[in-house]
Amino acid sequence: MLDFDPAALRARYRAERDRRLRPDGAAQYRRTTGEFGYYADDPYTPRAERAPKRDTVEVLIVGGGFGGLLTGARLRQAGFTDGIRIVDEAGDVGGTWYWNRYPGIHCDVESYVYLPLLEETGALPTWRYSPGEEIRQHAVRIAETFGLYSDALFHTAVTELRWDDDEAEWIVRTDRGDDMRARHVVVGSGTLSRAKLPGIPGIESFRGHTFHTSRWDYGYTGGDARGGMTKLADKRVALIGTGATGIQVAPHLAQDAAHLYVFQRTPSAVDHRGNRPTDETHLRDREPGWQRRRMENFLTVITGGHADEDMIGDGWTGTAALQRKILSGTVRADLTEEETELADFLKMNEIRARVDEIVTDPAVAELLKPWYRYMCKRPTFSDFYLQTFNRPNVTLVDTADTGGVTAMTETSIVAGDRSYDVDCVVFATGFEVGVSGVVSGLLPVHGRGGAQLLHTWARGPRTLHGFYSHGFPNLFHMGSLQNANSVNFTHVLDEQSQHIAAVIAEARDRKAVRVEPTVEAEEAWLATIRAHARDNLAFQADCTPGYLNNEGKPRPQNNGFSPGPVVFHELLRDWRANDGYDQVLVTA
Ligand code: NDP
């Protein structure tokens, strides 16, 4: 016997979604360019002048986050002792972990499976869920271990890639006047990397201090990512946004500010975290190969495959069946749609009950309860966030009925008919949705015969395995593109980097003139993707708006390989073992 009415819950979810749907959808946001460009400035590393580069490298990697670092490391392992150049807009390596240094930042996937190359670099995270600074330093460690600093260029944005047919090289231009050449180019410029601002009328008129969480201004707040922001002691601070970032930031702002106003439009689902220092009890297996075994185990469990044990046993592996609604990767379809929905209702009931257990004011608790299915938004985990609302210096301002904050004036934030005077506004309002500069058009690419990549892809991307395209030789894409994804994104990037390095090494060994998939291979991969495509539209349309469903206007997603990452990685290994290289190496 159920102690709740599923039909009533379904109706409540619809009503709560409808309260938040906005006609302008994703267009409500503003880019951090033009008049708002200063929101994207680097607060961490001074920009150094340098002479433009005019040289040639073997492999140029766009992006120094984990994707680029892993590719650099795998290429070194494949014998490329020099000629690897990482280019990044940031002042150092680290990608998302370079930019995001807000107080409280941690990875939300277990660090023993999230931080790549632990065994190769002799590192061990000090916490089960590492603080961001430890992850950033690990990125630096990878760059140092594999000698990736020597040719790197930072504070440099690649502005154009142009293939030179005669020399069989890429001409790479940047915003620093570089005019370089590279035999191969790997684009690993990230997915959630461009900060966005909310489209709040009057946002530009506010005269107090503002910044985005991915450019934290410790000069203004004092302290560091561990907290201690003593300069906020006399400040009234507004936090706009309660996603995965907002829930990590809020407890620290509450601790240090005179008063914190949390402006919420949709509450996150906040589950138990249980972070703890690393000890031998949860890393019993430390025999060589332990990290790969653990990563594979995590991936298998969360995608519903068979594993003898769940080595990680946390909030991700415990909700594997629910995640498969939105992520690709059903290896074992063991639940019917009805059973999945029921499991989802039960999980979300548990999350809502947790709010009641922790938050003492029943009216505030009510506002903090999420009314949508589990994977409509990225689930979050915290043992501090909900407790924050029991503090006397914290006010929760619910903005669901007004589509968010309604206006900003010179001194205040307006929500509906109430106005709140504040000294500082922190935007935890997220990032432009995950495509690389190549796909968004920010980085123009001209391939063989001058063909423009986005013209060639006018009806959608065309790749083999998401990596490369006919007409665009020696160009490799990393990230989510006609391949398989996972919440442990670094694992996905690791497999991609191994594949790319293997192909480039094979091209070297066979003296290939270019790496370029045949039209037939590309067509076959597109057909495979289409054959497996799963229709997720109905699920997405029922979801509360967010970046995962294009702000309530879901689009058909035929870009992923539905059988999921375990099958995809196996497929890549088979392809390499069975000489798939013939599909991409042009030898004469
Ligand atoms: P999100 O896009 O998830 O959240 C943005 C927040 O801003 C939402 O709460 C949104 O409300 C709110 N918002 C936007 N506009 C307004 C407005 N006009 N008025 C009021 N509120 C507004 O961004 P995050 O930075 O939180 O997270 C992005 C992604 O980054 C995560 O999903 C995750 O993938 C990753 N991440 C991972 C972490 C980790 O530990 N590994 C930590 C942090 C982030 P609404 O929901 O109503 O749209």
| pLDDT, tens digit, 9 for 90 and up, residues 204-251 | 999 999 999 999 999 999 999 999 999 999 999 999 999 999 999 999
As to burial, measured by CB atoms within 10 angstroms (0-12 exposed, 13-18 middle, 19+ buried), residue 576 is middle
Residue 162 has a pLDDT of: 98
pLDDT 10s digits, 487-509: 999 999 999 999 999 999 999 99
Who's near 160: CB < 8 A, 6+ residues apart?
Answer: 171, 172, 173, 443, 444, 445, 446
Average pLDDT (270-280) is 92
Indicate if 72 and 167 belong to the same structural domain: yes
From 410, 427, 444, give the residue that closes a domain: 427
Query: Please, where are the H alpha helices in 43-128?
Result: 66-77, 96-99, 111-114, 118-121
- Give yes or no for residue 243 CB within 6 A of ligand 1: yes
Distance of alpha carbon 92 from alpha carbon 103, whole angstroms: 20
Is any ligand 1 atom within 6 A of the Cβ of residue 101? no
Neighbours of 181 (CB within 10 A): 16
* Same-domain status, 221 and 147: no
User: How much of the chain, in percent, has pLDDT values that exceed 70?
Assistant: 97
557 pLDDT band (50/70/90 cuts)? low
Question: Is-contact 447 470, C-beta < 8 A?
Answer: no
Under DSSP, is residue 533 helix (H, G, I), strand (E, B) or coil?
coil
Indicate the angle between helix axes 489-509 and 66-77, nearest 10 degrees: 40
Burial of 113 (0-12, 13-18, 19+ CB in 10 A): buried
Q: Give yes or no: residues 229 and 357 share one domain.
A: yes
The residue among 335 and 390 whose pLDDT is bigger is: 390
Q: Are residues 161 and 238 in the same domain?
A: no
Residue of the nearest CA to atom 17 in ligand 1?
404
CB of 580 closer than 6 angstroms to any ligand 1 atom: no
Res. 415: pLDDT tops 90: yes
Instruction: Domain of residue 342: give its range.
Output: 195-272+338-427
| CB of 241 sitting under 6 A from ligand 1 | yes
Q: Say how many Å lie between the CA of residue 424 and the centre of ligand 1.
A: 19
CA–centroid distance, residue 546 to ligand 1 (Å): 8
Q: CA 275, CA 277: separation in Å to the nearest integer?
A: 7
Beta-strand relationship, 380-381 and 158-164: unpaired
In this predicted model, what pLDDT tens digit does every residue of 438-471 receive, in sequence order?
888 889 999 999 999 999 999 889 999 999 999 9
Cβ(453)–Cβ(436) below 8 Å: no
User: How far is 497 from 481, CA to CA, in rounded Å?
Assistant: 14
- C-alpha distance across the termini of the chain, in Å: 70
Are 104 and 166 part of one and the same domain? yes
Of 429, 489, 492, best ligand 1 pocket probe by most atoms within 8 Å of the beta carbon: 429
Residues 6+ apart with CB under 8 A from 581: 503, 506, 510
Mean pLDDT value across residues 179-185? 98
Q: Please report whether residue 292 resides in a domain.
A: no
CA-atom Rg of the chain in angstroms:
24
| pLDDT, average across residues 542-568 | 87
Where do we find the tokens 């935007």? 427
- Residue whose CA lies nearest to ligand 1 atom number 14: 429
**Average pLDDT value for residue range 178-199:** 92
Q: What angle do CA 295, 297, 300 make, to 5 degrees?
A: 110
The label of the residue with tokens 């495979």 reads 528
User: For ligand 1, is residue 512 a contact (CB within 6 Å)?
Assistant: no
Q: Cα–Cα distance between 476 and 18 in angstroms, integer?
A: 41
Nearest in space to 320 (alpha carbons), one of 308, 560, 335:
335
For ligand 1, whether the C-beta of 517 sits within 6 Å is no
Contact criterion met (CB below 8 Å) for 140 and 123: no
CA of 241 to the centre of ligand 1 (A): 6
Quote the strand ranges of 483-550, DSSP E: 514-515
**pLDDT band for position 534 (cuts 50, 70, 90):** confident
111 lies in the same domain as 253: no
Question: Which of ligand 1's atoms lies nearest the C-alpha of 242?
Answer: 9
155: in domain: yes
**Residue 516 alpha carbon to ligand 1 centre in Å:** 38
Residues 190 and 200 in one domain: no
- Give the C-alpha separation, 572 to 577, whole Å: 9
Calpha distance 375→386 (Å, rounded):
20
In the chain, pLDDT over 90 holds for what percent of residues? 79
Residue having the nearest C-alpha atom to atom 30 of ligand 1 = 244
Domain boundary among 373, 397, 427: 427
Dump the DSSP string for 301-338. Answer: HHTT---S--SS-STTGGGHHHHTTTSS--SS--S-HH
DSSP 8-state code for residue 377: S
pTM (global) more than 0.85: yes
Residue 391 Cα, ligand 1 centroid: separation in angstroms? 23
What does the pLDDT average to over 348-369? 98
Any idea what DSSP says for residue 396?
Answer: E
Is residue 381 domain-shared with residue 521, that is, in the same domain?
Answer: no
Residue 545 has a CB neighbour count (10 Å cut-off) of 24
CA nearest ligand 1 atom 1, residue: 430
Residue 520, domain member (yes or no): yes
Find out whether the beta carbon of 191 lies less than 6 Å from any atom of ligand 1.
no
Cβ of 430 closer than 6 Å to ligand 1, yes or no, is: yes
> How many Å lie between the centroid of ligand 1 and the Cα of residue 510?
47
CA of 58 relative to ligand 1 center, distance in Å: 38
Domain annotation covers residue 285: no
Same domain, 519 and 384: no
Residues 467 and 517 in one domain: yes
State which H helix or E strand residue 211 sits in. Answer: strand 209-212
The residue among 78, 276, 266, 55 whose CA lies nearest residue 179 is: 55
Ligand 1 contacts CB of residue 107 (under 6 A): yes
Q: Ligand 1 pocket, 244 CB below 6 A?
A: yes
Q: Is the CB of 176 under 6 A from ligand 1?
A: no
Q: How far is the CA of 376 from the centre of ligand 1 (A)?
A: 12
Over residues 129-134, mean pLDDT: 98
Structure tokens at 500: 């790319």
9 found inside a domain: no
Which residue's CA is the nearest one to ligand 1's atom 3?
Answer: 243
Tell me, what amino acid is at 448? R
265 lines ligand 1 (CB under 6 A): yes
Tell me what pLDDT residue 298 has: 96
Q: Which residue has the tokens 């392992």?
A: 77
What's the pLDDT tens digit per position in 17-64? 999 999 988 889 988 888 888 899 999 999 999 999 999 999 999 999
In this prediction, residue 343 carries a pLDDT of 85
The residue to mutate among 263, 378, 399, 425, having the most atoms of ligand 1 within 8 angstroms of its beta carbon, is: 378
Which atom of ligand 1 is found nearest the CA of 263? Answer: 20
Per DSSP, the three-state class of 394 is strand
Domain-ending residue, one of 390, 411, 427: 427
Q: What is the pLDDT of residue 91?
A: 98
The set of residues, in sequence order, having a beta carbon less than 8 Å from that of 166 and lying 6+ positions away, is: none
Q: Are 87 and 153 in contact (CB under 8 A)?
A: yes
Residue 323: pLDDT band (50, 70, 90) is low
In a domain, 466, yes or no: yes
Binding site membership of 405 for ligand 1 (Cβ less than 6 Å): yes
> Does the structure show a pLDDT above 70 at 332?
no
Q: Report whether pLDDT(1) > 90.
A: no
Q: Which atom of ligand 1 is nearest to the CA of 400?
A: 47
Ligand 1 neighbour 246 (Cβ under 6 A): yes
Reply yes or no on whether the pLDDT at 324 is more than 80: no
Q: Is 380 in the pocket of ligand 1 (CB under 6 A)?
A: no
Output the pLDDT for position 558. Answer: 61
Residue 297, domain member (yes or no) = no
Query: From the CA of 263, how far away is ligand 1's center (Å)?
Result: 12
Structure tokens at 71: 């590719």
Q: Does ligand 1 come within 6 angstroms of the Cβ of 13?
A: no
**Domain count across the chain:** 2
CA distance 313 to 110: 10
> Which of the two residues, 588 and 156, has the higher pLDDT score?
156
Local confidence band at 279 (pLDDT 50, 70, 90 cut-offs) = confident
Is the Cβ atom of 370 under 6 angstroms away from ligand 1? no
Whether residue 186 is found in the same domain as residue 221? no
Ligand 1 center–CA 405 separation, angstroms? 14
Answer yes or no: do 458 and 513 share one domain: yes
Would 189 be classed as within a structural domain? yes
Report residue 330's pLDDT band, with 50, 70 and 90 as the boundaries. Answer: very low
Which residues, other chains included, contact 64 with Cβ-Cβ below 8 Å and sequence gap of 6+? 86, 87, 88, 90, 92, 93, 94, 95, 98, 139, 143, 148, 152, 154
pLDDT at 326 over 90: no
Task: Please give the structure tokens belonging to residue 60.
Answer: 């140029």
**CATH at residue 146:** 3.50.50.60
* Torsion on CA atoms 261, 262, 263, 269, rounded to nearest 10: -170
At 468, is the secondary structure helix, strand, or coil?
strand
pLDDT digits (tens, 9 = 90+) for 401-413: 998 999 999 999 9
- Judge if the beta carbon of residue 108 lies within 6 A of ligand 1: yes
**Inter-helix orientation angle 565-577/489-509, to 10°:** 10
Q: Is 398 helix (H, G, I), strand (E, B) or coil?
A: strand
